């Protein structure tokens, strides 16, 4: 069926049968905090993405959506523009299975050089869940980081995830960082309990959030390379007879990779409790589309339905109005971006001083500098005159008393001024504490020079003002 151009529509997809053996986290109660569907008034990506029915807005000539879609939740979007072309239950929280590994890679992959070697400790493989998918890591053997990531992306190895998590500071730390990363990506439907996506009570994500994870990950060349790899050699055990380390082949469990034209990746997932999930990206004629399908009626249909949505998306490009948008990552505020007026950042002059700098010029600033120096000298002299001197003051060799200044520290080495024949210190010499004394004649000289500079500055500013008025 084709609607008039621009007419918004809400199509109802076929009602799927219940997903197999839903996990405790598969269907969180509406409005129940973690994992609850988003409020319609604040739906990330647009209000229509919070609706339960199929959302699509075809123009004239747009192809019909596939009639065989049974996924409880799905979404198809343009990776470059972020426009969501069509969706169903985009924000419905559901168990993500191993598609959550995309968020794990978004979080941890940038932290380690791919050539780094890590020797696996037995404790790093101790907490794997029953029935976990494994790539076959052996304890007490070294593995390069790039091998571990191939184990994550190709074999969906929970053992590889656990080793990388321990390298990152442990499972709990990694889960916390993944949740923080989800928050930064505005993936508000996601609650992380385990880093590899293994079924855990309360662990959910959504078709919208998984698509955000894929979009963010594909911007990392290493992520893109790993998820597009079809086969690889993986390090094995050490042969006891020869002492040589073996290797074996691993293949990507993504069944569309190498079969669907232009498919880039990204990640598939399946558990008995969660059902099947899949997020993929494909490129055709310069356009890249992202698709996510969660919990179809049958496990194998997740690939068929993803391929059908990609076919539709490429055919519908430019012929449908977007029903929502993939949001961009939130950036942390720059703490140094706005220095306060009370404490300007180092090296930054307040606006008034910047203006004065243009007006005064070098001569004016010289006068100000001399004036400030004289003011500081006068204040110091005033404090010295007001400070009481007592007989209890410490005395340096030669009978010179040390003024009881609070800013003196015990480690300061006091130096005595050189004496003239009359026993007095020469003008301008170094006084006790390292300060330079300013004698009476020196003070008068500085005062005269400052007044001369001030008069010159006033005259210069007067001439500049006259020239400006004449130009008007």
Residues known to be catalytic: 98, 101, 156
Q: What is the dihedral of CA 115, 116, 119, 122, to 10 degrees?
A: -100
| CA 448 – CA 456 distance, rounded (Å) | 12
Residue whose pair of structure tokens reads 């992959």 in the numeric block: 109
52-73 core/surface letters (b: 16 or more CB in 10 A; e: else): eebbbbbbeebeebeeebbbbb
| CA 334 – CA 262 distance, rounded (Å) | 39
DSSP character at residue 122: G
DSSP for 104-120, please give it: HHHHHGGGS-TT-EEEP
The Cβ of residue 143 has, within 10 Å, a number of other Cβ atoms equal to 21
> Rounded to a whole number, what is the largest CA-CA distance in the chain?
113
268 Cβ neighbours under 8 A, 6+ residues apart: 98, 99, 156, 253, 254, 255, 276, 277, 278, 279, 302, 303
DSSP character at residue 130: T
> What are 263's two structure tokens?
């498919």
| CA 371 – CA 113 distance, rounded (Å) | 58
CA distances from 369 to 310, 366, 453 (A): 71, 5, 11
Q: To which H or E segment does residue 281 belong? A: strand 275-284
DSSP for 227-272, please give it: HH--EEEEEEEEPTTT--EEEEEEE---TTTTTSTTEEEEEEEEET
Paired strand residues for 234: 248
Among 277, 255, 267, smallest CA distance to 156 is for 267
């Amino acid at each position: 069926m084709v609607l008039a151009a621009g007419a918004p529509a809400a199509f109802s997809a076929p009602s799927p049968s219940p997903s197999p053996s839903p996990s405790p986290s598969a269907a969180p109660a509406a409005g129940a905090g973690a994992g609850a569907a988003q409020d319609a008034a604040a739906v990330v990506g647009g209000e229509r993405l919070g609706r339960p029915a199929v959302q699509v807005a075809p123009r004239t000539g747009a192809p019909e959506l596939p009639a065989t879609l049974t996924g409880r939740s799905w979404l198809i979007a343009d990776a470059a523009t972020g426009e969501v072309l069509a969706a169903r239950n985009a924000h419905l929280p559901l168990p993500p299975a191993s598609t959550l590994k995309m968020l794990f890679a978004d979080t941890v992959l940038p932290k380690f050089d791919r050539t780094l070697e890590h020797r696996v400790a037995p404790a790093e493989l101790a907490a794997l869940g029953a029935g976990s998918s494994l790539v076959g890591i052996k304890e007490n053997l070294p593995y390069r980081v790039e091998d571990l990531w191939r184990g994550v992306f190709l074999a969906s190895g929970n053992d590889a995830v656990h080793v990388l998590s321990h390298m990152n500071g442990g499972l709990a730390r990694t889960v916390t960082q993944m949740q923080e990363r989800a928050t930064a990506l505005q993936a508000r439907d996601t609650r992380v309990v385990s880093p590899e996506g293994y079924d855990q009570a309360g662990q959910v994500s959504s078709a919208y959030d998984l698509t955000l994870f894929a979009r963010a990950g594909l911007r990392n060349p290493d992520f893109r390379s790993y998820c597009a790899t079809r086969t690889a050699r993986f390090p094995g055990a050490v042969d006891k007879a020869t002492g040589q380390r073996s290797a074996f082949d691993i293949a990507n469990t993504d069944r569309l990779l190498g079969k669907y034209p232009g498919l880039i990746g990204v990640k598939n997932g399946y558990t008995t409790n969660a059902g099947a999930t899949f997020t993929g990206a494909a490129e055709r004629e310069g356009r890249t589309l992202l698709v996510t399908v969660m919990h179809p009626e049958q496990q194998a249909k997740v690939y068929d339905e993803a391929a059908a949505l990609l076919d539709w998306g490429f055919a519908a490009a430019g012929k449908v109005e977007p029903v929502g948008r993939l949001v961009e990552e939130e950036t942390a505020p720059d703490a140094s971006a706005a220095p306060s007026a009370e404490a300007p950042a180092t090296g930054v002059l307040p606006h008034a001083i910047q203006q004065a700098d243009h007006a005064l010029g070098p001569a004016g600033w010289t006068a100000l500098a001399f004036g400030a120096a004289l003011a500081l000298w006068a204040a110091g002299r005033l404090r010295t005159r007001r400070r009481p001197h007592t007989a209890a003051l410490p005395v340096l060799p030669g009978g010179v008393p040390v003024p009881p200044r609070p800013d003196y520290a015990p480690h300061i080495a006091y130096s005595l001024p050189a004496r003239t024949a009359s026993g007095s210190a020469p003008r301008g010499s170094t006084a006790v504490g390292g300060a330079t004394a300013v004698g009476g004649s020196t003070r008068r000289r500085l005062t005269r020079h400052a007044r001369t500079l001030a008069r010159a500055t006033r005259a210069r500013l007067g001439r500049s003002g006259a020239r400006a008025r004449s130009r008007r």
